[in-house]
Amino acid sequence: MDGAKGLFLLVSLLSSMLACVLCSRGSILRLETFHQLDNVPTVVKGLDLERYVGRWYEIASLPTFFMPKDGTDTRATYALNKNGTVDVLNETWVNGKRNSIKGIAYKDDPNSDEAKLKLKFYVPPEFPIFPIVGDYWVLYLDADYQYSIVGGPSRKSLFILSRKSHVDDETYKQLVQKAVDEGYDVSNLRKTPQSDTPPQ
């Protein structure tokens, strides 16, 4: 081995060692960032599904892939099944035309008292073949079961729901603030247009 080759090898060895130190530092940094994001939102405990089912109006949500972005009068109707699962019907109206998707919700861990549900839908809605399972975590629920905030561990989905199709500004602000307190970025939150008289 001549001198030039040896020096070249030494330099590449040193630079790969340096790169490795940098890459491991990078991954430590990334791990720390990940660890911060890892604190998942707090979840309601002791959810009474019998009281929770029924109709909810979507007051605001973060845009999702599944529901049309320009939907109005968006609502969810839940019905408890005998086996403890919940039938889910989401409806929204686009240019006066009704869009709907059906799914089923069930407790992720039947032994936990946390309101962590899984929500299973089949897509596409018109021809349901591919199952999609998402998280349905109830992050906030008032004592009277009139307002609910639903999200998931990744904080990508957020739904502010109400038993009535309209909420006053003060209540709305408080609900949004609860989502912010749970670590949500609400800059893309869209207030769902709701008619004065909801569709039948």
Ligand X SMILES: *[C@@H]1O[C@H](CO)[C@@H](O)[C@H](O)[C@H]1NC(C)=O
Residues found near ligand X in the complex (CB under 6 A): 56, 58, 66-67, 76, 81, 83, 85, 90, 101, 119, 121, 134, 136, 150, 159, 161
Query: Minimum distance from CB of 133 to ligand X (Å)?
Result: 11
CB-based burial label for 56 (10 Å; 0-12, 13-18, 19+): buried
The residue (of 56 and 93) whose beta carbon lies closer to ligand X is 56
Query: Minimum distance from CB of 66 to ligand X (Å)?
Result: 4
Chain centroid offset of residue 27 CA: 27
SS3 (DSSP) at 184? coil
Asked if residues 105 and 85 have their Cβ atoms less than 8 Å apart, the reply is yes
Query: Minimum distance from CB of 158 to ligand X (Å)?
Result: 9
The residue (of 128 and 183) whose beta carbon lies closer to ligand X is 128
Query: Minimum distance from CB of 20 to ligand X (Å)?
Result: 43
The residue (of 19 and 133) whose beta carbon lies closer to ligand X is 133
Q: Which residues of 137-152 are buried (b: 16+ CB within 10 A; e: fewer)?
A: bbbbbeeeeebbbbbb
The residue (of 78 and 171) whose beta carbon lies closer to ligand X is 78
Query: What are 84's two structure tokens?
Result: 């403890």
SS3 (DSSP) at 80? strand
